[in-house]
Structure 1
Amino acid sequence: MQSRRDYQLGILFVTLSAVAWSLAGYFTRLIPLDSFTLLAWRGIFGAASLLLVLILFKGRDWWREFTGMGKPELAYISLTVAGMIMFITSLGNTSVAHGAVIYATIPFLAAGLGWFFLGEIPRRNAVIASMIAIAGVILMVGFGSDGGLLGDLLAFGMTCCMALSIILMRKNPQMSAMGAACIGAILSSAICWPLGAPLDVTNIQLFQLALFGITNSAMGLAFFALGSKRLPAIETALIGALDTPLAPLWVWLAFNEQPGLNTVIGGGIVFAAVIFHVVTSQRRATAVTA
Protein backbone atom coordinates (compact mmCIF):
# COMPACT_ATOMS: atom_id res chain seq x y z
CA MET A 1 0.00 0.00 0.00
CA GLN A 2 1.25 3.49 -0.83
CA SER A 3 2.49 5.33 2.26
CA ARG A 4 0.65 8.44 3.37
CA ARG A 5 3.86 10.48 3.23
CA ASP A 6 4.51 9.39 -0.36
CA TYR A 7 0.97 10.39 -1.31
CA GLN A 8 1.33 13.79 0.36
CA LEU A 9 4.60 14.38 -1.47
CA GLY A 10 2.81 13.57 -4.72
CA ILE A 11 0.17 16.21 -3.99
CA LEU A 12 2.85 18.77 -3.12
CA PHE A 13 4.98 18.12 -6.21
CA VAL A 14 2.07 18.15 -8.68
CA THR A 15 0.76 21.36 -7.10
CA LEU A 16 4.18 22.98 -7.51
CA SER A 17 4.29 21.84 -11.15
CA ALA A 18 0.88 23.45 -11.76
CA VAL A 19 2.12 26.70 -10.19
CA ALA A 20 5.27 26.63 -12.35
CA TRP A 21 3.32 25.96 -15.54
CA SER A 22 0.76 28.65 -14.71
CA LEU A 23 3.52 31.27 -15.05
CA ALA A 24 3.55 30.80 -18.83
CA GLY A 25 0.96 33.57 -19.27
CA TYR A 26 2.97 35.92 -17.06
CA PHE A 27 6.19 35.43 -19.03
CA THR A 28 4.37 35.60 -22.36
CA ARG A 29 2.93 38.95 -21.29
CA LEU A 30 6.27 40.13 -19.92
CA ILE A 31 8.38 39.29 -22.99
CA PRO A 32 7.00 40.82 -26.25
CA LEU A 33 8.18 38.08 -28.60
CA ASP A 34 6.42 35.61 -30.87
CA SER A 35 5.49 32.19 -29.49
CA PHE A 36 8.09 30.25 -31.46
CA THR A 37 10.93 32.47 -30.25
CA LEU A 38 9.70 32.15 -26.68
CA LEU A 39 9.49 28.36 -26.90
CA ALA A 40 12.85 28.04 -28.65
CA TRP A 41 14.68 29.78 -25.80
CA ARG A 42 12.48 28.22 -23.12
CA GLY A 43 13.48 24.80 -24.40
CA ILE A 44 17.19 25.63 -24.30
CA PHE A 45 17.16 27.13 -20.81
CA GLY A 46 14.76 24.46 -19.58
CA ALA A 47 16.99 21.65 -20.85
CA ALA A 48 20.09 23.28 -19.33
CA SER A 49 18.33 23.64 -15.96
CA LEU A 50 17.11 20.04 -16.03
CA LEU A 51 20.63 18.87 -16.82
CA LEU A 52 21.97 20.84 -13.86
CA VAL A 53 19.37 19.26 -11.57
CA LEU A 54 20.35 15.81 -12.85
CA ILE A 55 24.02 16.48 -12.13
CA LEU A 56 23.23 17.74 -8.62
CA PHE A 57 21.07 14.73 -7.76
CA LYS A 58 22.90 11.97 -9.61
CA GLY A 59 26.49 13.19 -9.29
CA ARG A 60 28.95 11.47 -11.59
CA ASP A 61 26.29 9.02 -12.76
CA TRP A 62 24.08 11.71 -14.33
CA TRP A 63 24.89 10.51 -17.84
CA ARG A 64 23.23 7.14 -17.12
CA GLU A 65 19.89 8.95 -17.30
CA PHE A 66 20.48 9.23 -21.03
CA THR A 67 22.21 5.94 -21.85
CA GLY A 68 19.66 3.71 -20.13
CA MET A 69 16.61 4.94 -21.97
CA GLY A 70 14.05 2.47 -23.20
CA LYS A 71 10.59 2.50 -24.72
CA PRO A 72 8.92 4.48 -21.87
CA GLU A 73 11.45 7.30 -22.17
CA LEU A 74 11.20 7.41 -25.96
CA ALA A 75 7.41 7.51 -25.68
CA TYR A 76 7.62 10.36 -23.15
CA ILE A 77 9.91 12.35 -25.46
CA SER A 78 7.53 11.80 -28.39
CA LEU A 79 4.53 12.92 -26.33
CA THR A 80 6.36 16.04 -25.15
CA VAL A 81 7.34 17.11 -28.66
CA ALA A 82 4.00 16.20 -30.26
CA GLY A 83 2.04 17.97 -27.53
CA MET A 84 4.11 21.13 -27.97
CA ILE A 85 3.65 21.19 -31.75
CA MET A 86 -0.10 20.64 -31.52
CA PHE A 87 -0.44 23.27 -28.79
CA ILE A 88 1.37 25.93 -30.79
CA THR A 89 -0.49 25.09 -33.99
CA SER A 90 -3.86 25.08 -32.25
CA LEU A 91 -3.40 28.68 -31.08
CA GLY A 92 -3.53 29.86 -34.68
CA ASN A 93 -6.66 27.87 -35.52
CA THR A 94 -8.95 28.27 -32.52
CA SER A 95 -9.53 30.57 -29.56
CA VAL A 96 -7.69 30.36 -26.25
CA ALA A 97 -11.09 29.90 -24.62
CA HIS A 98 -11.85 26.80 -26.67
CA GLY A 99 -8.40 25.39 -25.93
CA ALA A 100 -8.85 25.91 -22.20
CA VAL A 101 -12.24 24.21 -22.15
CA ILE A 102 -10.89 21.26 -24.14
CA TYR A 103 -7.91 20.94 -21.77
CA ALA A 104 -10.36 20.84 -18.87
CA THR A 105 -11.38 17.36 -20.01
CA ILE A 106 -8.00 15.96 -18.93
CA PRO A 107 -9.20 14.54 -15.57
CA PHE A 108 -11.79 12.41 -17.41
CA LEU A 109 -9.23 11.36 -20.02
CA ALA A 110 -6.72 10.47 -17.32
CA ALA A 111 -9.37 8.54 -15.40
CA GLY A 112 -10.34 6.50 -18.46
CA LEU A 113 -6.75 5.83 -19.49
CA GLY A 114 -5.80 5.01 -15.91
CA TRP A 115 -8.58 2.46 -15.69
CA PHE A 116 -7.72 0.95 -19.08
CA PHE A 117 -3.93 0.78 -18.79
CA LEU A 118 -3.37 0.62 -15.02
CA GLY A 119 -6.57 -0.86 -13.64
CA GLU A 120 -6.99 2.19 -11.38
CA ILE A 121 -10.61 2.68 -10.40
CA PRO A 122 -11.10 6.42 -9.71
CA ARG A 123 -12.23 7.32 -6.22
CA ARG A 124 -15.67 8.83 -6.03
CA ASN A 125 -14.36 12.05 -4.46
CA ALA A 126 -11.84 12.48 -7.28
CA VAL A 127 -14.55 12.08 -9.94
CA ILE A 128 -16.84 14.57 -8.16
CA ALA A 129 -14.02 17.08 -7.74
CA SER A 130 -13.05 16.70 -11.42
CA MET A 131 -16.61 17.43 -12.55
CA ILE A 132 -16.74 20.51 -10.31
CA ALA A 133 -13.37 21.73 -11.63
CA ILE A 134 -14.48 21.31 -15.25
CA ALA A 135 -17.66 23.28 -14.50
CA GLY A 136 -15.49 26.05 -13.07
CA VAL A 137 -13.25 26.18 -16.14
CA ILE A 138 -16.26 26.27 -18.48
CA LEU A 139 -17.66 29.17 -16.48
CA MET A 140 -14.31 30.98 -16.71
CA VAL A 141 -13.84 30.84 -20.45
CA GLY A 142 -17.23 29.90 -21.90
CA PHE A 143 -17.85 28.65 -25.40
CA GLY A 144 -17.32 31.51 -27.82
CA SER A 145 -18.06 31.45 -31.52
CA ASP A 146 -14.40 32.07 -32.44
CA GLY A 147 -13.21 28.48 -32.45
CA GLY A 148 -12.25 26.32 -35.40
CA LEU A 149 -12.58 22.59 -35.97
CA LEU A 150 -8.90 22.06 -36.86
CA GLY A 151 -7.69 24.07 -33.88
CA ASP A 152 -10.09 22.28 -31.53
CA LEU A 153 -8.87 18.90 -32.77
CA LEU A 154 -5.25 19.95 -32.25
CA ALA A 155 -6.04 21.19 -28.73
CA PHE A 156 -7.67 17.86 -27.98
CA GLY A 157 -4.59 16.08 -29.34
CA MET A 158 -2.38 18.10 -27.00
CA THR A 159 -4.65 17.20 -24.08
CA CYS A 160 -4.40 13.52 -25.00
CA CYS A 161 -0.58 13.79 -25.05
CA MET A 162 -0.62 15.25 -21.55
CA ALA A 163 -3.00 12.59 -20.25
CA LEU A 164 -0.85 9.83 -21.79
CA SER A 165 2.25 11.36 -20.18
CA ILE A 166 0.54 11.07 -16.80
CA ILE A 167 -0.26 7.40 -17.43
CA LEU A 168 3.27 6.72 -18.65
CA MET A 169 4.83 8.21 -15.52
CA ARG A 170 2.42 6.33 -13.29
CA LYS A 171 3.04 3.00 -15.03
CA ASN A 172 6.83 3.38 -15.15
CA PRO A 173 7.86 5.13 -11.90
CA GLN A 174 11.52 4.13 -12.39
CA MET A 175 11.83 5.59 -15.88
CA SER A 176 14.46 8.27 -16.59
CA ALA A 177 11.85 11.02 -16.70
CA MET A 178 14.25 13.91 -16.13
CA GLY A 179 16.55 12.80 -18.92
CA ALA A 180 13.59 12.28 -21.26
CA ALA A 181 12.19 15.70 -20.37
CA CYS A 182 15.60 17.25 -21.07
CA ILE A 183 15.76 15.68 -24.54
CA GLY A 184 12.13 16.64 -25.20
CA ALA A 185 12.90 20.27 -24.33
CA ILE A 186 15.90 20.33 -26.70
CA LEU A 187 13.90 18.79 -29.55
CA SER A 188 11.05 21.25 -28.98
CA SER A 189 13.55 24.11 -29.14
CA ALA A 190 15.09 22.75 -32.34
CA ILE A 191 11.66 22.61 -33.99
CA CYS A 192 10.70 26.15 -32.92
CA TRP A 193 14.10 27.77 -33.61
CA PRO A 194 13.79 28.20 -37.40
CA LEU A 195 10.15 29.29 -37.08
CA GLY A 196 10.91 32.27 -34.83
CA ALA A 197 13.56 34.98 -34.53
CA PRO A 198 15.63 33.80 -31.55
CA LEU A 199 18.75 35.81 -32.50
CA ASP A 200 16.90 39.13 -32.38
CA VAL A 201 16.33 39.18 -28.61
CA THR A 202 17.87 41.80 -26.32
CA ASN A 203 20.05 41.07 -23.29
CA ILE A 204 17.20 41.85 -20.91
CA GLN A 205 14.85 39.61 -22.86
CA LEU A 206 17.46 36.86 -22.79
CA PHE A 207 17.59 37.10 -18.99
CA GLN A 208 13.80 36.99 -18.81
CA LEU A 209 13.76 34.00 -21.17
CA ALA A 210 16.23 32.23 -18.86
CA LEU A 211 13.84 32.74 -15.93
CA PHE A 212 11.01 31.51 -18.15
CA GLY A 213 12.90 28.31 -18.99
CA ILE A 214 14.02 27.66 -15.41
CA THR A 215 10.62 28.14 -13.77
CA ASN A 216 8.03 27.23 -16.37
CA SER A 217 9.89 24.46 -18.17
CA ALA A 218 12.49 22.92 -15.84
CA MET A 219 10.69 23.29 -12.51
CA GLY A 220 7.34 22.35 -14.02
CA LEU A 221 8.67 19.19 -15.65
CA ALA A 222 10.79 18.21 -12.65
CA PHE A 223 7.98 18.54 -10.10
CA PHE A 224 5.54 16.84 -12.48
CA ALA A 225 7.92 13.90 -12.91
CA LEU A 226 8.39 13.58 -9.15
CA GLY A 227 4.70 13.91 -8.30
CA SER A 228 2.82 12.05 -11.05
CA LYS A 229 4.43 8.72 -10.18
CA ARG A 230 3.05 9.02 -6.64
CA LEU A 231 -0.60 9.78 -7.43
CA PRO A 232 -3.43 8.08 -9.31
CA ALA A 233 -3.79 9.48 -12.81
CA ILE A 234 -7.09 11.28 -12.21
CA GLU A 235 -5.72 13.04 -9.12
CA THR A 236 -2.63 14.23 -10.99
CA ALA A 237 -4.85 15.68 -13.71
CA LEU A 238 -7.23 17.25 -11.19
CA ILE A 239 -4.53 19.05 -9.22
CA GLY A 240 -2.90 20.07 -12.49
CA ALA A 241 -6.14 21.92 -13.31
CA LEU A 242 -4.96 24.62 -10.89
CA ASP A 243 -2.97 25.93 -13.84
CA THR A 244 -6.13 27.42 -15.39
CA PRO A 245 -7.23 29.78 -12.58
CA LEU A 246 -3.68 30.62 -11.47
CA ALA A 247 -2.56 31.87 -14.90
CA PRO A 248 -4.89 34.93 -14.98
CA LEU A 249 -4.16 35.58 -11.29
CA TRP A 250 -0.43 36.20 -11.93
CA VAL A 251 -1.22 38.45 -14.90
CA TRP A 252 -3.67 40.43 -12.79
CA LEU A 253 -1.17 40.89 -9.94
CA ALA A 254 1.73 41.80 -12.25
CA PHE A 255 0.02 43.84 -14.97
CA ASN A 256 -3.23 44.88 -13.27
CA GLU A 257 -5.31 43.16 -15.94
CA GLN A 258 -8.63 42.90 -14.16
CA PRO A 259 -10.17 39.43 -14.52
CA GLY A 260 -13.83 39.25 -15.40
CA LEU A 261 -16.48 38.12 -12.97
CA ASN A 262 -16.74 34.72 -14.68
CA THR A 263 -12.98 34.24 -14.29
CA VAL A 264 -13.08 35.06 -10.59
CA ILE A 265 -16.06 32.79 -9.88
CA GLY A 266 -14.84 29.97 -12.13
CA GLY A 267 -11.33 30.12 -10.69
CA GLY A 268 -12.75 29.98 -7.19
CA ILE A 269 -14.73 26.88 -8.14
CA VAL A 270 -11.60 25.15 -9.44
CA PHE A 271 -9.67 26.02 -6.28
CA ALA A 272 -12.57 24.79 -4.15
CA ALA A 273 -12.72 21.50 -6.08
CA VAL A 274 -9.02 20.79 -5.56
CA ILE A 275 -9.14 21.77 -1.88
CA PHE A 276 -12.22 19.58 -1.41
CA HIS A 277 -10.41 16.63 -2.93
CA VAL A 278 -7.21 17.13 -0.93
CA VAL A 279 -9.05 17.56 2.39
CA THR A 280 -11.33 14.56 1.87
CA SER A 281 -8.36 12.42 0.77
CA GLN A 282 -6.42 13.33 3.88
CA ARG A 283 -9.40 12.56 6.10
CA ARG A 284 -9.75 9.20 4.39
CA ALA A 285 -6.05 8.46 4.86
CA THR A 286 -6.27 9.41 8.55
CA ALA A 287 -9.29 7.16 9.05
CA VAL A 288 -7.51 4.23 7.41
CA THR A 289 -4.36 4.59 9.52
CA ALA A 290 -6.24 5.28 12.76
Structure 2
Amino acid sequence: MVVRTVGAGAWEIIFWRSVFAGLFLAGLLLVRERRRFFRVFLEAPWASIGMGLCFATASTCFVIAMEYTSVAKILFLQGISPFIAAIASWLILRERVGPRTWGAMAMALVGIGIMEIESFEGSGSLIGDLLGVVIGCAFAGATIIVRSNRKVRMIPAAFYATVIAGTIAATQAPTLAISDHDLPYLFFFGFGQLGLGMALYTSGARHIPAAEAALAALLEPALGPIWVWLVYAENPGIYAIVGGAILIGSLILHSLYDLHAAGRRVVPPVV
Protein backbone atom coordinates (compact mmCIF):
# COMPACT_ATOMS: atom_id res chain seq x y z
CA MET A 1 0.00 0.00 0.00
CA VAL A 2 2.79 2.40 0.90
CA VAL A 3 4.76 1.60 -2.25
CA ARG A 4 1.65 2.37 -4.30
CA THR A 5 1.27 5.73 -2.54
CA VAL A 6 4.79 7.19 -2.72
CA GLY A 7 6.52 8.44 -5.84
CA ALA A 8 10.08 7.51 -4.85
CA GLY A 9 11.98 4.77 -6.64
CA ALA A 10 12.57 1.30 -5.20
CA TRP A 11 16.12 1.95 -3.97
CA GLU A 12 15.13 5.27 -2.39
CA ILE A 13 12.27 3.50 -0.61
CA ILE A 14 14.61 0.80 0.71
CA PHE A 15 17.14 3.39 1.90
CA TRP A 16 14.72 5.59 3.83
CA ARG A 17 12.74 2.64 5.15
CA SER A 18 16.02 1.19 6.47
CA VAL A 19 17.03 4.53 8.02
CA PHE A 20 13.74 4.98 9.87
CA ALA A 21 13.60 1.32 10.89
CA GLY A 22 17.19 1.51 12.19
CA LEU A 23 16.34 4.58 14.26
CA PHE A 24 13.30 2.82 15.71
CA LEU A 25 15.28 -0.30 16.63
CA ALA A 26 18.16 1.72 18.11
CA GLY A 27 15.68 3.75 20.18
CA LEU A 28 13.92 0.59 21.34
CA LEU A 29 17.22 -0.94 22.47
CA LEU A 30 18.20 2.28 24.23
CA VAL A 31 14.94 2.36 26.20
CA ARG A 32 15.01 -1.34 27.08
CA GLU A 33 18.72 -1.82 27.75
CA ARG A 34 19.86 1.65 28.85
CA ARG A 35 23.40 1.17 30.15
CA ARG A 36 23.63 -2.21 28.42
CA PHE A 37 22.93 -0.64 25.02
CA PHE A 38 26.37 -1.28 23.56
CA ARG A 39 26.82 -4.57 25.41
CA VAL A 40 23.84 -6.26 23.73
CA PHE A 41 25.57 -5.88 20.37
CA LEU A 42 28.41 -8.04 21.72
CA GLU A 43 26.09 -10.94 22.64
CA ALA A 44 26.41 -13.59 19.91
CA PRO A 45 27.72 -11.00 17.41
CA TRP A 46 28.24 -13.51 14.59
CA ALA A 47 24.70 -14.83 14.94
CA SER A 48 23.34 -11.28 14.89
CA ILE A 49 25.39 -10.35 11.83
CA GLY A 50 24.36 -13.59 10.10
CA MET A 51 20.70 -12.93 10.70
CA GLY A 52 21.12 -9.34 9.56
CA LEU A 53 22.69 -10.58 6.33
CA CYS A 54 19.77 -12.97 5.80
CA PHE A 55 17.15 -10.25 6.21
CA ALA A 56 19.14 -7.80 4.09
CA THR A 57 19.61 -10.44 1.37
CA ALA A 58 15.89 -11.17 1.28
CA SER A 59 14.87 -7.51 0.98
CA THR A 60 17.55 -6.66 -1.60
CA CYS A 61 16.84 -9.72 -3.77
CA PHE A 62 13.16 -8.82 -3.71
CA VAL A 63 13.90 -5.49 -5.38
CA ILE A 64 16.23 -7.05 -7.96
CA ALA A 65 13.80 -9.89 -8.70
CA MET A 66 11.05 -7.41 -9.58
CA GLU A 67 13.12 -6.44 -12.63
CA TYR A 68 12.86 -10.01 -13.96
CA THR A 69 9.52 -11.41 -12.80
CA SER A 70 6.20 -10.46 -11.25
CA VAL A 71 5.75 -9.61 -7.59
CA ALA A 72 3.10 -12.30 -7.39
CA LYS A 73 5.52 -15.00 -8.50
CA ILE A 74 8.13 -13.78 -6.03
CA LEU A 75 5.61 -14.04 -3.21
CA PHE A 76 4.72 -17.56 -4.31
CA LEU A 77 8.37 -18.63 -4.28
CA GLN A 78 8.74 -16.94 -0.89
CA GLY A 79 6.16 -19.46 0.31
CA ILE A 80 8.80 -22.20 0.33
CA SER A 81 10.44 -20.64 3.40
CA PRO A 82 8.43 -22.67 5.96
CA PHE A 83 9.43 -25.92 4.26
CA ILE A 84 13.10 -24.91 4.22
CA ALA A 85 12.87 -23.79 7.85
CA ALA A 86 11.20 -27.06 8.84
CA ILE A 87 13.85 -29.23 7.18
CA ALA A 88 16.74 -27.09 8.46
CA SER A 89 15.35 -26.98 12.01
CA TRP A 90 15.01 -30.78 11.98
CA LEU A 91 18.55 -31.28 10.70
CA ILE A 92 20.27 -28.58 12.75
CA LEU A 93 18.14 -28.01 15.84
CA ARG A 94 16.45 -31.41 16.02
CA GLU A 95 13.06 -29.73 16.23
CA ARG A 96 10.27 -32.14 15.41
CA VAL A 97 7.74 -30.91 12.86
CA GLY A 98 4.32 -32.45 13.48
CA PRO A 99 1.94 -33.68 10.77
CA ARG A 100 -0.47 -30.80 11.40
CA THR A 101 2.31 -28.26 10.76
CA TRP A 102 3.29 -30.02 7.53
CA GLY A 103 -0.38 -30.01 6.55
CA ALA A 104 -0.79 -26.33 7.36
CA MET A 105 2.33 -25.46 5.34
CA ALA A 106 1.09 -27.48 2.37
CA MET A 107 -2.33 -25.77 2.48
CA ALA A 108 -0.65 -22.37 2.80
CA LEU A 109 1.45 -23.06 -0.28
CA VAL A 110 -1.65 -24.17 -2.19
CA GLY A 111 -3.38 -20.97 -1.12
CA ILE A 112 -0.51 -18.78 -2.35
CA GLY A 113 -0.44 -20.73 -5.62
CA ILE A 114 -4.15 -20.06 -6.17
CA MET A 115 -3.68 -16.39 -5.29
CA GLU A 116 -1.03 -15.95 -7.95
CA ILE A 117 -2.37 -18.27 -10.66
CA GLU A 118 -3.21 -15.39 -13.01
CA SER A 119 0.31 -13.99 -12.80
CA PHE A 120 2.18 -17.02 -14.11
CA GLU A 121 1.16 -16.75 -17.76
CA GLY A 122 3.84 -15.06 -19.81
CA SER A 123 5.78 -13.63 -16.88
CA GLY A 124 9.00 -14.47 -15.11
CA SER A 125 12.44 -15.74 -15.97
CA LEU A 126 15.00 -18.17 -14.61
CA ILE A 127 16.92 -15.35 -12.90
CA GLY A 128 13.78 -14.01 -11.28
CA ASP A 129 12.75 -17.48 -10.14
CA LEU A 130 16.18 -18.17 -8.64
CA LEU A 131 16.11 -14.87 -6.78
CA GLY A 132 12.68 -15.78 -5.43
CA VAL A 133 14.12 -19.03 -4.09
CA VAL A 134 17.00 -17.08 -2.50
CA ILE A 135 14.45 -14.90 -0.71
CA GLY A 136 12.75 -17.96 0.76
CA CYS A 137 16.07 -19.49 1.80
CA ALA A 138 17.32 -16.25 3.37
CA PHE A 139 14.13 -15.79 5.38
CA ALA A 140 14.25 -19.40 6.57
CA GLY A 141 17.92 -18.95 7.50
CA ALA A 142 17.10 -15.91 9.63
CA THR A 143 14.41 -17.89 11.43
CA ILE A 144 16.81 -20.77 12.16
CA ILE A 145 19.40 -18.36 13.58
CA VAL A 146 16.79 -16.85 15.90
CA ARG A 147 15.75 -20.31 17.12
CA SER A 148 19.33 -21.47 17.66
CA ASN A 149 20.04 -18.42 19.84
CA ARG A 150 16.84 -18.32 21.88
CA LYS A 151 18.53 -16.86 24.97
CA VAL A 152 20.04 -13.97 23.01
CA ARG A 153 18.16 -10.80 22.11
CA MET A 154 18.02 -10.61 18.33
CA ILE A 155 16.83 -7.04 17.95
CA PRO A 156 20.47 -5.98 17.34
CA ALA A 157 20.42 -8.42 14.40
CA ALA A 158 17.40 -6.60 12.98
CA PHE A 159 19.34 -3.35 13.37
CA TYR A 160 22.26 -4.85 11.43
CA ALA A 161 19.80 -5.78 8.66
CA THR A 162 18.69 -2.16 8.27
CA VAL A 163 22.32 -0.97 8.15
CA ILE A 164 23.26 -3.53 5.48
CA ALA A 165 20.16 -2.95 3.34
CA GLY A 166 20.44 0.82 3.70
CA THR A 167 24.09 0.78 2.69
CA ILE A 168 23.37 -1.31 -0.41
CA ALA A 169 20.47 0.96 -1.37
CA ALA A 170 22.59 4.09 -0.91
CA THR A 171 25.10 2.78 -3.47
CA GLN A 172 22.38 1.93 -6.01
CA ALA A 173 19.91 4.80 -5.69
CA PRO A 174 20.30 7.55 -8.32
CA THR A 175 19.31 10.07 -5.64
CA LEU A 176 18.41 9.93 -1.98
CA ALA A 177 16.18 13.01 -2.12
CA ILE A 178 12.48 12.44 -1.38
CA SER A 179 9.47 14.73 -1.53
CA ASP A 180 7.57 16.16 1.42
CA HIS A 181 4.64 14.02 0.30
CA ASP A 182 6.64 10.79 0.58
CA LEU A 183 8.34 11.55 3.90
CA PRO A 184 5.50 10.64 6.33
CA TYR A 185 4.68 7.47 4.39
CA LEU A 186 8.30 6.31 4.40
CA PHE A 187 8.54 7.22 8.09
CA PHE A 188 5.60 4.90 8.80
CA PHE A 189 7.05 2.28 6.44
CA GLY A 190 10.30 2.23 8.41
CA PHE A 191 9.12 2.79 11.99
CA GLY A 192 5.83 0.89 11.95
CA GLN A 193 6.02 -1.74 9.24
CA LEU A 194 9.69 -2.77 9.13
CA GLY A 195 11.12 -1.72 12.49
CA LEU A 196 8.23 -2.82 14.69
CA GLY A 197 7.62 -5.85 12.49
CA MET A 198 11.18 -7.14 12.80
CA ALA A 199 11.26 -6.43 16.55
CA LEU A 200 8.10 -8.48 17.07
CA TYR A 201 9.20 -11.28 14.76
CA THR A 202 12.68 -11.68 16.25
CA SER A 203 11.16 -11.69 19.74
CA GLY A 204 8.30 -14.07 18.96
CA ALA A 205 10.29 -16.53 16.87
CA ARG A 206 12.36 -17.40 19.95
CA HIS A 207 9.31 -19.07 21.53
CA ILE A 208 7.87 -21.23 18.73
CA PRO A 209 9.39 -23.79 16.33
CA ALA A 210 11.11 -22.39 13.25
CA ALA A 211 8.61 -23.92 10.82
CA GLU A 212 5.67 -22.33 12.66
CA ALA A 213 7.38 -18.93 12.78
CA ALA A 214 8.02 -18.98 9.02
CA LEU A 215 4.47 -20.22 8.46
CA ALA A 216 2.98 -17.28 10.36
CA ALA A 217 5.02 -14.87 8.24
CA LEU A 218 3.10 -16.06 5.15
CA LEU A 219 0.28 -13.75 6.23
CA GLU A 220 2.20 -11.04 4.33
CA PRO A 221 1.34 -12.20 0.79
CA ALA A 222 -2.22 -12.99 1.90
CA LEU A 223 -2.98 -9.61 3.49
CA GLY A 224 -1.05 -7.46 1.00
CA PRO A 225 -3.82 -7.39 -1.64
CA ILE A 226 -6.40 -6.64 1.07
CA TRP A 227 -4.67 -3.40 2.15
CA VAL A 228 -4.51 -2.21 -1.46
CA TRP A 229 -8.17 -3.13 -1.96
CA LEU A 230 -9.25 -1.22 1.17
CA VAL A 231 -7.33 1.95 0.27
CA TYR A 232 -7.47 2.00 -3.54
CA ALA A 233 -10.59 -0.14 -4.15
CA GLU A 234 -8.49 -2.35 -6.40
CA ASN A 235 -10.28 -5.66 -6.87
CA PRO A 236 -7.78 -8.43 -6.05
CA GLY A 237 -9.75 -10.99 -8.10
CA ILE A 238 -11.44 -14.24 -7.23
CA TYR A 239 -8.18 -16.23 -7.19
CA ALA A 240 -6.60 -13.89 -4.64
CA ILE A 241 -9.69 -14.05 -2.44
CA VAL A 242 -9.98 -17.84 -2.54
CA GLY A 243 -6.22 -18.42 -2.14
CA GLY A 244 -5.94 -15.89 0.67
CA ALA A 245 -8.87 -17.49 2.48
CA ILE A 246 -7.19 -20.91 2.27
CA LEU A 247 -3.87 -19.51 3.51
CA ILE A 248 -5.36 -17.57 6.42
CA GLY A 249 -7.70 -20.44 7.24
CA SER A 250 -4.79 -22.88 7.49
CA LEU A 251 -2.98 -20.55 9.91
CA ILE A 252 -6.11 -20.01 12.02
CA LEU A 253 -6.83 -23.73 12.30
CA HIS A 254 -3.19 -24.41 13.17
CA SER A 255 -3.25 -21.76 15.92
CA LEU A 256 -6.63 -22.90 17.29
CA TYR A 257 -5.30 -26.45 17.60
CA ASP A 258 -2.28 -25.13 19.50
CA LEU A 259 -4.52 -23.18 21.89
CA HIS A 260 -6.76 -26.20 22.42
CA ALA A 261 -3.76 -28.48 23.05
CA ALA A 262 -2.26 -25.96 25.48
CA GLY A 263 -5.56 -25.78 27.37
CA ARG A 264 -5.68 -29.55 27.73
CA ARG A 265 -2.17 -29.54 29.22
CA VAL A 266 -3.14 -27.12 32.00
CA VAL A 267 -3.41 -28.95 35.30
CA PRO A 268 -6.65 -28.02 37.13
CA PRO A 269 -6.20 -26.55 40.62
CA VAL A 270 -6.68 -28.85 43.57
CA VAL A 271 -9.81 -27.93 45.52
Question: Would the TM-score normalized by the shorter structure come out above 0.5?
Answer: yes
Q: CA deviation at 1:155?
A: 1.1
> What is the aligned-residue RMSD (CA, Å)?
1.4
Matched, 1:269 2:246: yes
Matched, 1:83 2:53: no
Per-residue CA deviations over 1:73-92 (Å, capped at 9, x if unaligned) read 12112212222222221111
Looking at structure 2, the residues matched to 187 and 178 of structure 1 have their Cα atoms a distance apart, in angstroms, of 14
Matched, 1:39 2:14: yes
Q: Is the 8 A contact 1:73 1:175 kept in 2?
A: no
Shift of the 128–68 alpha-carbon distance from structure 1 to 2, 3 Å rule, reads closer
Per-residue CA deviations over 1:254-279 (Å, capped at 9, x if unaligned) read 11111101111111111110010001
Q: Secondary structure at the match of 2:169?
A: helix
Q: CA deviation at 1:158?
A: 1.2
Looking at structure 2, the residues matched to 199 and 109 of structure 1 have their Cα atoms a distance apart, in angstroms, of 36
Q: How does 1:107-126 map to 2 (within 5 A)?
A: 107-126=82-101
Q: Which of 180, 195, 201 in structure 1 is aligned with 2:157?
A: 180
Deviates more, 1:31-40 or 1:87-96: 87-96
Amino acid of the structure 2 residue aligned with 1:252: W
Q: CA deviation at 1:69?
A: 4.3
Q: How does 1:239-250 map to 2 (within 5 A)?
A: 239-250=216-227
Percent identity over paired residues: 26
Q: Which of 61, 69, 74 in structure 1 is aligned with 2:36?
A: 61
Corresponding pairs, count: 265
Partner of 1:221: 198
Deviates more, 1:84-93 or 1:108-117: 84-93
Q: How does 1:129-278 map to 2 (within 5 A)?
A: 129-142=104-117, 143-278=120-255
Looking at structure 2, the residues matched to 200 and 64 of structure 1 have their Cα atoms a distance apart, in angstroms, of 34
Per-residue CA deviations over 1:198-255 (Å, capped at 9, x if unaligned) read 5431123112211110112101110011110101011111111111111111111111
Q: Is the 8 A contact 1:126 1:235 kept in 2?
A: yes
Partner of 2:262: 285
Matched, 1:50 2:30: no
Q: CA deviation at 1:282?
A: 1.2
Q: Secondary structure at the match of 2:24?
A: helix
Q: Is the 8 A contact 2:79 2:109 kept in 1?
A: yes
Gaps of 5+ in 1: 1-25
Q: CA deviation at 1:197?
A: 4.3
Q: Is the 8 A contact 2:43 2:152 kept in 1?
A: no
Looking at structure 1, the residues matched to 153 and 200 of structure 2 have their Cα atoms a distance apart, in angstroms, of 14
Q: If the length of structure 1 is used for normalisation, what is the TM-score? A: 0.88
Looking at structure 2, the residues matched to 72 and 62 of structure 1 have their Cα atoms a distance apart, in angstroms, of 17
Partner of 2:48: 73
Amino acid of the structure 2 residue aligned with 1:196: A
